Every structure is written in C-alpha cells, then in structure tokens.
Amino acid sequence: MSIPILSYSFSTQNQRVDGFEVYPGDEQPRIYSTDNLPTATEMDEIIWAAYRQIFSEHQILKTTADPFLESQLRFNQIKVKDFVRSLLLSDSFRELNFDANSNNRFVELCIQRVLGRDVYNEREKYAYAIVIGSLGLEKFIDGLLESQEYLENFGDSAVPYQRRRIIPQRTQGETPFNLKTPRTAQGFSSKGSMYPVGWAGTVRQFRPQEQKPKAGDPALFLSMVNEIF
C-alpha cells in the first residue's frame, strides 16, 4: 500500500493570476506546439525547445540527444507530452539531475521544468519526495504529466515553459529557472568530495619531485649522519 500524498497549501505566484492584456506583446512567452501542423523548420524549433526546457541550456549535450525519439515526434508517432516524458525518464536526465541531487532538490527542478512554475512551499517538495521514495521515479513523472495543472496549461501538444515570467506591471521579469535554480544544491560539491576543500594543517617542508635526491646522492648520506649525531 503506497503512502498517500501529503496536502500542501498554495502560495501567491504570477502564474495563478490570469492576464488581462488586450494586446499581448513581448512579455508573453512563445508557445511551441504541434497543433498547427508545423513545418520541418518549426519542428526543429519544437524539439530544441523541449530539450532546453527539460535539460536546461547548460545540460544540452550530444549525449542527451535522442534521434530515435526525435524521429518519432517528426512523423507524428508520439505526442509532445510523450517526448517530454521520455526525456524525463532518460538515463541522461537521471544521471545529470536525479543522481546528483536529493529528492527534495529533484522535485523542485522537475516542478519548474515540467509545470512551468516554482514550488509553492517546502511541504510540496516533501510531498512529492515521499512519492519518489515510495512509488519510484516513473510514478512521480507520470503524476506531474497527468496532473490537471499540466493538461490545462500545456496539453498533449505544447512544450512546457515558465508561465507568467514577465508581466506588464513590472519593469523586470522573474529570473529564469535555469539561472535561479542550478543543477546541484549548494552543499553538493562539498558532500561529494572525498577530501575537504579547506585544510587547517601547515606545510612544514615541500620539495619538488625533480629536486629530491636520488640513490647515491651525497645528500642522502649527509642526512643519515645528521640523524646519528
């Protein structure tokens, strides 16, 4: 029997407020969708947008690309949501994000990249972290993609994006998630290292390798004599 998901309260965010712009301008995000039978060039842009959203720009590598999935999407064999799901469950995404973070941190990254918003509070992170621990990674990803929030905002054919990042009432928009939330937590580098970064000891003597005396060097006999007397 699985543990039921914890309840959590919502917090005020821009994406929870409807926009009333009469003539939307550059503040509106560009939506990449397959609803209008995209051309080959537009399909390239959709695929690139999906990689950029799920992996973030600093994780788009040659190893993260999946030509087989791209071909399926181009020939309309899978939906955009299926393409996003496959990227989230890929070995590359797991290695770069899941294995490199705690469950709480991973939940925060996935909510930002999949649902296009920030986490409401710490309790929401704990709730989904329990889902990962009790049901596994695949159930957690499916729960996000099949949620009412995802389907209402992105459906089966649109690439997720950061919702309401820029609003007309402000001179400056919110920081993009790929800059606000880096891949690893702040203390991950120190925890993952075998040796401490700072060393409190003092170096008594240091001699470069090429300057150390070799066998037969008189300096070795001199040090031996000094030890005797």
Global model pTM greater than 0.85? no
Per-residue pLDDT 10s for the chain (229 aa) are 455 566 666 665 665 556 555 555 555 778 899 998 899 999 999 999 999 999 987 788 788 899 999 999 999 999 999 999 999 999 999 999 999 899 999 999 999 999 988 888 888 899 999 999 999 999 999 999 999 999 999 999 999 998 865 555 555 556 667 666 555 555 555 444 444 455 556 656 666 666 777 777 777 777 777 777 6
Other CB atoms closer than 10 Å to residue 82's CB: what's the count? 15
Angle, vertex CA 109, rays to CA 77 and CA 93, nearest 5? 50
Tell the burial category of 159 from Cβ atoms under 10 Å away from its Cβ (0-12, 13-18, 19+): buried
Domain 15-192 belongs to what topology? serine acetyltransferase, domain 1 (1.10.3130)
Give the CA-trace dihedral at 26, 28, 33, 37, to 10 degrees: -50
Residue extents of the structural domains in the chain: 15-192
